[in-house]
Every structure is written in structure tokens, then in C-alpha cells.
Amino acid sequence: MKLRTPSLLYLVCITSLLFILSESTQPPFSCDASDPATKSYPFCETTLPITQRVRDLVSRLTLGEKISQLVNSAPAIPRLGIPDYQWWSEALHGLAVSRGLRFNGTIRSATSFPQAVGIEGRAIYNVGQAMGLTFWAPNINIFRDPRWGRGQETPGEDPLVTGKYAVSYVRGIQGDSFEGGKLGENLQASACCKHFTAYDLDNWKGVTRYVFNANVSLQDLADTYQPPFQSCIEEGKASGVMCAYNRVNGVPNCADYNLLSKTARGQWGFNGYITADCDAVATIYEQQGYFKVPEDAAADVLKAGMDVDCGSYLLKYTKSAVEKRKLSLSEIDRALYNLFSIRMRLGLFNGNPVKQPFGNIGLDQICSQEHQNLALEAARNGIVLLKNAKKLLPLSKTETTSLAVIGPNADSEQTLLGNYAGPPCKTITPLKGLQSYAKDTRFHQGCSAVNCSSAFTDQAMNVATRADRVVLVMGLDQTQEREKFDRVDLVLPPKQQNLISAIARDAKNPIILVLLSGGPIDISFAKNDPHIGSILWAGYPGEAGGRALAEIIFGDHNPGGRLPVTWYPQSYTNIPMTDMRMRPEPSSGYPGRTYRFYQGPKVFEFGYGLSYSNYTYEFLPVKRNKVYLHNQVSSHVVGTSNPPGYIPVSKIGTEVCDKIKHQVTVRVENNGEMAGRHSLLLFVRPANMSNMRPVKQLVAFQSVNLKAGERAEIELELRPCEHLSLANEDGTMVIEEGSYFLSIGDKEIEIQAVK
């Protein structure tokens, strides 16, 4: 997982998604034109609106049939010609083994992109190897705490980046254009934004996601936890949302009417289905003890707005909830309406899908050279150069006489893939990639595993000291960070760190350290060690990660990746992971979270990343350095908690907000000797700091390809109502009058917000 600012947006625009399940050669569908028993049903009439078709279908179901469709493994209804359907498939960064797909038929692999991106097409569904077209991705929770085991699945800690990623991912999977809306109600496949909401703890010191009650202020909900989901729904037009296991301020997410119905559907206009995370409904009763009887759990999640249960709880208790008058049939019908609407939007009630709009997507889409090239490009652009003392990198292809490659991650195919992965098309490990550049390459694992419980220090040292150059490929893997397993430390396993330092000390020349991990690591020891000349962080870079690393190490690619999260020191683990507060509290010593609020020492900052080139910036004169807010809005609005000088965005109005948008132009120049892809990160910071405000905030980002010596002028849009606003204590978005500074690199310009 990395903030590939270059690759975040374009990776997800591939208009396909792989589906793998059975040995069948025909996809399951309803309304077969050759079946006279079903083609006469109104729900099979494609000229009718989907709303009318769904109502007709639901009206034909018995109570038992209705209840059977409320779970992820929805059985067939043979009398109506409706096949079974599996709602649960995974595609975090390429197809993953899950209930809805397997790799045991014609297709046995799929392109594995870097975490956390990836999409291929509906091709395998058309071959008949899938039971569903609903994919439970992306994960757009904020990477709030560096110890979170699932942080690797997310785009990072910044709400803007996460929201942009969500929109791009959803549009790519669902087959929509980046302008949005081109497909109307039709879906190539269905994306599901998860986990709604404030979910970012799995299992930390005995506190599990199943029982955790996240105490979150309205302020932090409004400007940190909720914005990615709002973007996913309003801009991305996601057709699915998953409610999370945890409670927020005492209320289980999947039983929260205000969250699911009032906010998602009412305020944001969500038009799709809402699924529970797996066994979340059972958890509400059995582990959280929120309800007195199981029927209350079944009834309340449906009344809250949830539609499908990943599990069997609704199958077991919905009928008795109806019989005990805890649940009305209309709530069941409402859920079924949402579920069958999605299946119809996917074209699964329009006859044979192969003959429908997406029917021409075939096997040539799977592991195509185009997709594999894209996986390589994403890996290249996502790798982050953290240290390059005395320009050690890139290594010379002609002068590097011998190379030692050491480490438990150097030749591990599985580590490259991260979690929620399927079998890749082909995998190039770092060792294999480096061997293609240096014929005299010597390898030693160094440790039996990344925890280095068995370290082969003497053997590894023998290999290292005989080589001209040494590359250590170390870091973490899924034994150290994963779903249901949060870290308790931020440092490398002690024996691994000792091995790194020992080899660095005795090697002929300064060594190169490559780290594979999903979360940040305190590598202060390596950052400050003169024997470690260069450090690269690759995240979990997917099937082509080894080749991308080798290209960067030997200078065939100029690194340009940026860190998507703050890298904290080990002392940060003194803060309880259960503390959800984003903002600092100086009086208690609480330092805050993420680059936006954290006030403490850092190993590396959010957005940090070196290059083989040096880039310089210049702000061109702005057309307006004053942002005039609505003249008729009082700076103190009665009935709100806003102090004087704070103006609610809602009072400014959409018309004025649109008028005050403007472009900021930045001239960027590549002063190096190599061409490179460079990410421009535009931040805003207030002239006057307060505990309410972020220290700084990313407001725009864009990548640009520049040849050596080339310059370009890049326009970035400033939207004051969004970019200068913050949430007050009751969650209202407000703009504070006064001065702000826009910054890129070491350059700043001042703007003012005035009435």
C-alpha cells in the first residue's frame, strides 16, 4: 500500500474485473429467451424500468424465498428461473480467492497489482466461472494508527487522497468513465466501499473489532472519517457499501439508522445495497450484547437500512422476528428491492450476459500484456526512495562486478502480493529482478522468516563481504501485519535489525536496504547509519514488484513515489490504539494523529520521497489572492457553536462556492540528468494555528512526466469552501476568516479569506 500519487488515479480506469468460480462454460443468469416459462414475466421485460421490474419480482416471492435472499449465499429460486448468487467476491488489488471466485477452471491466475489497487474485467464471468459480480472493495478507512494490520489495504492516512482513490476505483470497476454517469444505471461490475465507519482496529492487545466501541467526536467524523465514504457515494456513485463490525459512540454500525439511512441514503443520495461485514449481525447480539434476543438484531439491522447479511443470522431469525411483530414485511421488501436492483443493473435478468453490452469481454483480457505492463508501471511509480546518501543509487550496470542479495523477502513471491490476493499471472521477485542486471549475483536468505527467529548471520555475512554491492530485502509480511492482527511495535523484529546492522558494518561498500511492508516502520537506526547508503520502501508491490525494484536500483527508472502515511518513532506506541481522537491535546500530552494533526517527532513525513532528479518549483502570480465569501453572511451565526470569524459553508451557498473556485499555477522543473515522473503536492496551512485546525492539509495533487531539464506549468484547482474549511465541534464545516499559505516543497504564497 502506498500513495502512488502518480498511479492512484489511472490504475483503476481499466474497464474490467476478473471473476473465477466453477468449471462451467456459461454464466448464471435469469430470463433466458429460450425458456417460455420465464420470458413472459414482467421482471424479464428489459424495456420496463428497473423499479417496475424489481417490484414485480419481489411480489412473486414467498416469505421463505424472500428471507433466503437476505444472505450473501443467495440460493436459486427454480420456479422463477432465478439462479443462485454469491454477493461475496474480493478484488482489492486484483482478483482474490473468496466465496464468489476460485481459480480451478480455465482461468487459474489474474493480474496482481500493487496494494491497494487493481481491477481486471468481467471476462471470467462470461466464461461461466463466477457466481457473482459484486466485489467487496475498496477499503477506504483512514490509516489512522500505524499499527493497524489492515492499513496495507488502504490508500493511506489522508482523507482527500482516500476519497479520490475511492472515486477512481469505483468508476473503474463499475465500468464508468472518469467523468461519471456515462453508463447510467448499468454496471459492468459492482464496487463496495468499506468499512462504514470509523473502523481501523482489528485486534490490539486483546481488544477486537467485534467488541470495540469507537468513541469519535462529531468534529473528527466530519473532517476525517466520513469524507472518503461521502466521495465514494456522491462522486463515485458506488453501488455497494459495507457496514463495519465496530460500534461508534455506542451504536453498532450495521444497526445505525442515522448512519445507513439518514446519512448514506438521505444526505448523500446512496443508490445501492448495504452489506454487513461477515457475521457482523451475529456479533451485535452474541459479542456486543447490544440486543436482548437474536430477533432484535435481525429486525434492527434491516430497519436501520442494511440489506444483506454476510452470514446466516438473517436466515435463522428473520421469520421469527416477523412472527413476533418485531419486523414488518415492508422492511424485507425494501432490502430485496435494493438487492435485485443491483443484479438487474448488472444485466443478470436480461438473458444471456454474453449477448449483453459487456458480453464481448473475453479471455484475452485476463493476464493480458497490457494489464501486466500496468502492474509493472504501478509498482515502479509506487516505490519510495527514502535515503540516497552520496547518490549511491542508481548502481552502475557496467561497474557493479558482483552483487549479494540477502533477506527473507528477497525471493518470496507471496510477500509481494500482500493480503486479499489471488494467484498472479507471473511473479518476479527482487532476487529474480536483480539477477537480470548482475550476472554474478549471490543469494542468501539471511533468516528463515522475517521475524528472524533463526538467523544465519555467519553464512549471510560470508556472502555479503565477498560482493562488490549488497542489497538487503527485509521488512514485514502477513505474519507481522494482517486482518485480525495489529502490531504492538513499529520497529523491525530485533534479530532482523541486528542482521541488517551487522552486514552493513562489514560490507565492502555502503549497502542498499529494501523494505517490504504495508505499514510504516521506525527505521531510525538505518536512516542514521552511514553504512546504509540507500533505503527503498516498496510496500507490497504485486507480481512485478521485483522487476520494478531492480529497474530503480540500476537506473532504468527514476523513483518518484511518496509516502501515504507518517512514519512515527517507536515511542508512538505509548498511545493507546483505541484512542480515536485526531486532534492533539497538549495539556495531557496527547500528540494527535496523522500529518494533519500530529505534533511530535517523525521518522519520515507524509508525502516524503526522493528522486534521482532535483525538482524546483515556482508559483506563478495568482489571479486572486483574496477569497471573498458571501458578503451578507454574518461572521457569527446564532444557534451554532461557531466563534466570531467562523462562517458555516452551508451559509455561503453552492453558487458562491462555485464562483470562488480558481486555478493555482505552479512551474516545476526537472534539474536532474534523468527523466522522471514527479508528484506535485499542494498543501494549505493557516497563518494562525489552533487545536481545531490541521497543521497543514493536502488540497490537490498531480503527477507530471518531465525529461531532464524540462519544465512545465501545472494548474491545480483551489476550492475554498472545501479546502479552507474545517469541522467545528458539532461537525459543521466552517471557514475561518484570515490568512492561509499554499505550499509546494519549499515555496509558499499567501491567500486571504475575507467576507
* pLDDT tens digits for range 601-655: 999 999 999 999 999 999 999 877 888 876 544 444 434 455 668 899 999 999 9
- pTM for the full model? 0.94
pLDDT in tens, 28-80: 899 988 888 787 899 999 999 999 999 999 999 999 999 999 999 999 999 99
User: Average pLDDT of 244-257?
Assistant: 98
Q: Which residue has the higher pLDDT, 572 or 117?
A: 572
Q: Nearest 5°: phi and psi at 718?
A: -105, 120
Closest CA to 7 of 544, 568, 410: 544
pLDDT surpassing 70 at residue 2: no
For domain 377-574, which CATH number applies: 3.40.190.10, 3.40.50.1700, 3.40.50.11540, 1.25.40.10? Answer: 3.40.50.1700
For residue 352, the model assigns a pLDDT of 87
Residue type, 409: N
pLDDT in tens, 411-459: 999 999 999 998 899 999 999 999 999 999 999 999 999 999 999 999 9
pLDDT surpassing 50 at residue 473: yes
**How large a percentage of the chain has pLDDT more than 70?**
92
Classify 371 as helix, strand or coil.
helix
pLDDT in tens, 329-365: 999 999 999 999 999 999 999 998 878 888 888 788 8
Q: Which residue has the higher pLDDT, 397 or 109?
A: 397
For residue 635, the model assigns a pLDDT of 42
Closest CA to 419 of 484, 509, 365, 500: 484
Class of domain 83-365: alpha beta
Q: pLDDT grade, residue 17 (50/70/90)? A: very low
For residue 181, the model assigns a pLDDT of 56
Residues sharing a CB contact under 8 Å with residue 233, sequence separation 6 or more, in sequence order: 193, 241, 264, 268, 269, 270
pLDDT surpassing 50 at residue 11: no
Closest CA to 521 of 577, 576, 477, 461: 477
For residue 697, the cross-strand partners are 684
Q: HSE on the CB side for 174, CA within 13 Å?
A: 37
Active site residue 176: no
Q: HSE on the CB side for 202, CA within 13 Å?
A: 20
User: Average pLDDT of 174-185?
Assistant: 68
The boundaries of every CATH 2.60.40.10 domain in the chain are: 614-753
Beta strands in 591-710 (DSSP E): 615-619, 626-628, 646-648, 662-670, 676-686, 697-706
Domain covering 614-753, topology = Immunoglobulin-like (2.60.40)
Q: What is the CA radius of gyration of the chain?
A: 27
The boundaries of every CATH 3.20.20.300 domain in the chain are: 83-365
Answer whether 3's CB lies under 8 Å from 155's CB: yes
Choose the weakest-confidence range: 61-75, 470-484, 619-633, 709-723.
619-633
- Quote the longest CA-to-CA distance of the chain: 80
- Of 220, 277, 309, 529, which residue is the catalytic one? 277
Classify 627 as helix, strand or coil.
strand
For residue 18, the model assigns a pLDDT of 30
Answer whether 482's CB lies under 8 Å from 425's CB: no
For residue 111, the cross-strand partners are none
For residue 124, the model assigns a pLDDT of 67
pLDDT surpassing 60 at residue 21: no
pLDDT surpassing 60 at residue 521: yes
pLDDT surpassing 90 at residue 688: no
Classify 681 as helix, strand or coil.
strand
Classify 86 as helix, strand or coil.
strand
Distance CA 55, CA 41 (A): 12
Q: Which residue has the higher pLDDT, 359 or 279?
A: 279
Residue type, 13: C
Dihedral sign of CA atoms 23, 25, 27, 32 in order = negative
Q: pLDDT grade, residue 7 (50/70/90)? A: very low
User: Average pLDDT of 175-184?
Assistant: 63
Helix axis angle, 329-345 to 294-304, nearest 10°: 50
Cell numbers 522475517 correspond to: 450
User: Average model confidence (pLDDT) for the chain?
Assistant: 91
The boundaries of every CATH 3.40.50.1700 domain in the chain are: 377-574
For residue 715, the cross-strand partners are 665
Distance CA 23, CA 95 (A): 17
